Amino acid sequence: MRALEDAHFSGATLRRPVTIVAAKGARLEDAEGKSYIDLAAAQGWANVGHSHPRVLAAIQEQAGLLVAHTESSYNDQRALWFSELTRALGATLGKSDRGDLTRVFPCSSGAEANEAGIKAARLFTGRSEMVALKRGFHGRTFGALSATANQKYREPFLPVVPGFVHVLPVEEEIEKAVTEETAGLIIEVVQGEGGVHCLPEEFLLFAQERCRKTGALLIVDEIQTGLGRTGRLFACEHSGVSPDLITLGKSLGGGIPMGALVWREELGTFKPGLHGSTFGGNPLACAASRAVLSVLQEEKLSERAARLGERIQSDLLSANLKAVREVRGLGLMIGVELRHRVTPVLKKLMDAGVWALPAGPTVLRLLPPLTILEEDLDTALLVVKEVLDG
């Protein structure tokens, strides 16, 4: 099978020499029957685990009725999903002078949500300049790529979309960059791809106030941090930041490709035909996402992520591992800064049955499903500590 796939593979993704054929909970299985404990949540999208029974049941039921139809007609699953998603946002992020987070543009990925966010900021303000943070990552499509500072992603495709400025996450640079000409400031509360760096509360509140003062819109990218990952349903809850626009993706569809841009009521709406997404808000994805939202809340997975995340960080820090410089993160979004490159560590972990991710050249990123069994977590942590102390 690998040879067949390689014959047609685009080359766009770094591959591991295994064939994954099944997954359940926090366990992956390859074609040879070997099991892996997933500390990557399948690139961060499996917050409720792989093949959660309630998500599967919702998908199976909806698949027998209607898989896809565009927003050119009404749909029961989409209407209910709109209501349940915005209710969750309103309950956690509250009101602002720009109204509640009630307007939703559904799409098929996080990058597509960020594209919509950039367009919305320009549309609603009538301005064109955008500000983003260094170390941030917002996707690989052209608008999202333009908001991403890392030259590794940008250089092969230059020129990118004009009008973007990248600054360090410090108050002085935000004050200088965000002006009356700025349409929007896009940020991640925890910069995942950039090394799992948590932005300070004081900085986040300053950035929000600067946007309010200048009329710029604050866009919070919660594609990886959202839906319970950091110990709150949305990461901006930790600081009390209340965004004008919020972008979601990854875990939103429980494995079905899905993204969303949500914004404040007072900002307005798109005119018909001005923007669109062929599969955005399709009934299958909406049914899956409704199940995800229900599971997150009823199983109290945000609280579980907070508890398990504190435990992991404490365990790794107290072990005084030879390879570790620093452990940082929020909830079950953890970065382990190493004294050497991370690639050999990832290989040793995989050989020992643990699947993890990098976050830059020297950071091990741990993103276990929020539903991971504690015995699986204990087993995986023993392997991680053994590898990092070897």
Average pLDDT score over residue span 112-139: 98
pLDDT of 257-294, one tens digit each?
999 999 999 999 999 999 999 999 999 999 999 999 99
Does residue 316 register a pLDDT over 80? yes
Q: How far apart are CA 51 and CA 275, in angstroms?
A: 32
Q: How confident is the model at residue 98 (pLDDT cuts 50, 70, 90)?
A: low
State residue 95's pLDDT score: 65
Q: What is the pLDDT of residue 97?
A: 66
- Per domain, the residue ranges of the chain are 2-51+300-388, 60-298
Alpha carbons 354 and 380: distance in angstroms, whole number: 6
Share of the chain above pLDDT 70, in %: 99
Closest CA to 79 of 41, 106, 109, 110: 106
Confidence class for position 390, pLDDT limits 50, 70, 90: confident
Residue 31 tokens read as 């074609």
Does the pTM of the predicted model rise above 0.85?
yes
For the sheet containing 363-366, what is the strand order?
324-330, 333-338, 363-366, 357-358
CATH of domain 60-298: 3.40.640.10
For the chain, strand residue ranges (E) read 20-24, 27-30, 35-38, 101-107, 129-133, 164-167, 182-187, 190-191, 197-198, 217-221, 245-248, 259-264, 324-330, 333-338, 354-355, 357-358, 363-366
Q: 17: Cβ–Cβ under 8 A, 6 or more apart, which residues?
A: 2
Query: What does the pLDDT read at residue 14?
Result: 87
Per-residue pLDDT reduced to its tens digit, 3-32: 999 999 999 988 999 999 999 999 999 999
Mapping DSSP to helix (H, G, I), strand (E, B) and coil, where does residue 195 land? coil
The 10s digit of each residue's pLDDT in 196-224 is 999 999 999 999 999 999 999 999 999 99
Q: Do domains 2-51+300-388 and 60-298 have the same CATH topology?
A: no
**Mean pLDDT calculated for residue range 152-157:** 94
In CATH terms, 2-51+300-388 corresponds, of 3.30.1650.10, 3.80.10.10, 3.90.1150.10, 1.20.1740.10, to 3.90.1150.10
Contacts of 43 (CB under 8 A, 6+ apart): 250, 357
pLDDT > 90 in the chain, percent:
95
